[in-house]
A and B are shown apart, each in its own frame.
Chain A
Amino acid sequence: MNRDWHRSLERALERAGHGATRERFLAWRRIEAILLRHLYVMRRSWPRLLELAYWPTVQMILWGFVTLFYVQHSSWVAQAAGVLVSAVLLWDVLFRANLGVSVSFMEEMWARNLAQLFASPLRPHELVIALALMSLLRTIISVSPAMLLALPLFGVSVFSIGVPLAAFFANLLLFGWSIGLFVSALVLRLGLGAESLAWVSVFALAPLSGVYYPVDVLPAWLQPVAWSLPTSYVFEGMRAVLFEGAVRFDLLATGAALNLAYMAAATGFFLHTCRIARERGLLIQQGE
């Protein structure tokens, strides 16, 4: 069965990359090589797969019960019973998207494999694309079980948000990638001692992003900081859908514009750090 799985995976990747392998600046063959490298690890370790889905599910269950309590005691929450659970699930999209990039990159450092990659024809921007695709896959594996379980357990369907859900998901994914690239660059620059940044950075943004409460709850001096984050626009947009049934395109557009700026900055920072690493010999000094 393992071999079948492997062959069908290879065939799918080959089909997807057909015709693109000869491009010099951007070769799908090299991107798929990095994807395969991570998929090989993932398919061999079912505890890893389980762990990906475990935390979002536990979070969803915890907040589901909190919601059940508040529904009986708060008219605000009672208006949209699924708001907390939806917020938890969407927040996890950001968290997993970040880890999908940063942990995949750090795996190369843990394995002392970076020099192999950078001495190969793989270009840094191809590595960025591969990390982003790997992150998308990890995120889907992570949050899908929790999203599906929320319905039978608490009667909350995050899919009831409708089409805007895709926009929220894409925005959070992009911002997660930006954070992941930024963290990866810092870990490359500072060494594996800085690896906890992958987890710390996202938690630091949580209070500012209006995940569980509106941004106007924050002190006035902190609100401009919150509005500089794409996440605030996503969660305000989510509440607009759930409370008012309104799709706030202005929030979505501003969040997307901010996201593009963050993504450009994070990619630039990552590529610049790769260059610094080549200047300072960091690629040949990595390891556990």
Chain B
Amino acid sequence: MTAIVVRDLVKRFGDVAAVDHIDFSVEAGSTTALLGGNGAGKTTTISILLGLLMPTSGSVEILGADMLRDRYRVLAEMNFSSPYVDLPRRLTVFENLNVYGRLYGVADLRRRIGELVSDLDLAAFADRPIGSLSAGQRTRVAMAKALLNRPRLLLLDEPTASLDPDTGDVVRSYLEDYRRQTGVTILLASHNMAEVERLCDSVLMMRQGRIVDRGAPQHLLDRYGRDTMEEVFLDIARDRGAGVGALKSASAS
């Protein structure tokens, strides 16, 4: 089954095409990375998938529903986290989760909040306002909010951007376990290539609003002749094309 189907999607802001005729699909239960430099169109694409932004043209189907016409059918079954969007800072962690749990119609909300507080280690600051938390703590709370409704589709924009390596690792492990247990589909925008290699089954590479390459991480590493996704990312971001790494390796040997 396919969780996301995007066809010929275009988003223009005046003369600028933030997303320029992209097509892709994401299999249910998979984790897919949306990669690209700043301004590549990742956040715009995720915003369209969330229904926060209407495309200029094209279509988006999520969990079988047309997002442009019928998004309220699926919004309760998806969720997201983004560093560009906050939770109310004067509300405590618990209050925020309580408010959003109600918005998403979470059954047995107190128990669900308890589970997330425990799993994401939020207990020490659950009664503190979000505004008084560190960036890392806020990121974990945002993750808890994103998981509140046990989403079938999770859109994560730079989920570990402001976490220290240890906490980042905890969150990545949690996401891996969560996916194994629930079969959630994850679309992840990230600049952390180690994270992408670890979590993702497939990668979509964006540049200037277009998808310029795609495939499984290992497939891309092989094709670009590189050892790490970071090198592949740089090849694509700098438009060096596939095989440059392989040629360099060959000439060096």
Contact = CB atoms under 8 A, between A and B. Distances in A.
B105 A27 contact: yes
Nearest to B92: A40
Contact of A121 (B13, B72, B80): B72
B102 A29 contact: yes
Contacts of B90: 40-41, 44-45, 111
Nearest to A45: B90
A112 B103 contact: no
Interface string A112-129: 110111111111000000
A33 interface: yes
Contact of A37 (B13, B75, B91): B91
B139 interface: no
A118 B51 contact: yes
Given A118-B51, A284-B53, A113 B86 contact: yes
A119 B91 contact: no
A36 B95 CA distance: 8
Interface string B90-111: 1110010011111111000000
Contact of B88 (A24, A41, A123, A275): A41
Contact of B87 (A24, A116, A122): A116
B88 A29 contact: no
B107 to A, nearest CB: 10
B43 interface: yes
B200 to A, nearest CB: 23
A111 B52 contact: no
B72 A36 contact: no
A278 B52 contact: yes
Given A30-B103, A41-B88, A120 B52 contact: no
A283 interface: yes
Nearest to B88: A111
Contacts of A123: 72
Contact of A118 (B43, B52, B86): B52
Interface residues of A, number: 37
Contacts of B104: 120-121
B220 to A, nearest CB: 29
Contacts of B86: 111-113, 116, 287
A110 B23 CA distance: 35
B69 interface: no
B89 interface: yes
A112 B86 CA distance: 5
B53 A278 contact: yes
A216 interface: no
Contacts of B82: 115
A279 interface: yes
Given A36-B98, A40-B91, A284-B47, A116 B85 contact: yes
Given A30-B103, A123-B72, A278-B52, A40 B95 contact: yes
B76 interface: yes
B47 A281 contact: yes
A118 B98 CA distance: 17
Q: Kindly name the residue among A40, A107, A117, A287 whose own CB sees the greatest number of chain B CB atoms within 10 A.
A: A40
16 contacts: A29-B103, A30-B102, A33-B103, A40-B90, A40-B91, A40-B95, A41-B91, A111-B88, A113-B85, A119-B50, A120-B103, A121-B75, A278-B52, A283-B47, A284-B43, A284-B85
Given A33-B100, A33-B101, A121-B103, 9 more contacts: A29-B103, A36-B95, A111-B87, A115-B50, A115-B52, A120-B104, A278-B54, A281-B47, A281-B52
Interface of A: 10, 21, 24, 27, 29-30, 32-34, 36-37, 40-41, 44-45, 107-108, 111-113, 115-123, 275, 278-281, 283-284, 287
